[in-house]
Amino acid sequence: KVKAKKDPNAPKKPPTSYLLFSIETRPQLKNDNPEASFGALGKMLGDAWKVLPDNEKETYKVRAEAEKTRYDQEMANYHP
């Protein structure tokens, strides 16, 4: 089975709300816990996401939806 090559010019897939949270939160978490491994940081991020209030999660969900809309528009105009 041959894996199809990805087009480097294709639009990037949109980030999820959790990924946006992770991108924003990871640097501060890493500064607070410099000895933590990548896996430990991931666990801390997951735990932080679980206890995040719904109104704060909603801001990330709105941003993720905007990114998805942008991606859908780019894909509509993309022709390999």
Each residue's pLDDT tens digit, 10-49:
999 999 999 999 999 999 999 999 999 999 999 999 999 9
Angle (CA) 14 8 12, round 5°: 5
pTM of the model: 0.84
Mean pLDDT of 3-15: 89
Distance in angstroms (rounded) separating the CA atoms of residues 1 and 73: 32
Domain boundaries, the chain: 17-77
pLDDT for res 75: 94
Distance in angstroms (rounded) separating the CA atoms of residues 22 and 15: 10
CATH topology of domain 17-77: DNA Binding (I), subunit A (1.10.30)
